[in-house]
Amino acid sequence: MKSEPLFYFLTGILFTYFAVHTADDGIWDITTMLFILIATFDFGAGIRSLRKKTSRS
């Protein structure tokens, strides 16, 4: 699937955006940390998808 890495990067950006806007209450808030964790997993999955695609070529 060609759009899989793009999907992961876009959701990672989206969750980073949410984390920045919920950080007004404090960076150690559980909601902010949850958004950061999800964004990290999304960026990691996007990088793994790109590596798989480049190793196949």
Render pLDDT for 2-47 as a digit per residue (tens, 0 to 9): 788 999 999 999 999 999 999 887 788 899 999 999 999 999 999 9
pTM of the prediction? Answer: 0.84
- Residue in 4, 19, 12 with CA at minimum distance from that of residue 39: 12
pLDDT at 1 over 80: no
The SS3 call for residue 28 is coil
Render pLDDT for 45-57 as a digit per residue (tens, 0 to 9): 999 998 887 776 5
Q: DSSP strand E in the chain: where?
A: none
Cα separation, 55 vs 17, in Å, equals 31
